[in-house]
Amino acid sequence: MIPWKVTQLKVLAGHRLEVGFADGLSGVVDMSKERLEGILALLAGEKFFALARINDGVVTWPNGAEVAPDAMYDEVRAVQHASA
Residue 27 phi/psi, 5-degree rounding, is 175, -170
- 21's CB contacts (< 8 A; 6+ apart) are 3, 4, 5, 6, 7, 69, 73, 76
pLDDT at 10: 98
Q: How far apart are CA 82 and CA 34, in angstroms?
A: 20
Domains in the chain, CATH or no CATH each = 6-83 (3.30.2020.10)
pLDDT tens digit sequence for 47-83: 999 999 999 999 999 999 999 999 999 999 998 888 8
pLDDT at 84: 67
- 81's CB contacts (< 8 A; 6+ apart) are none
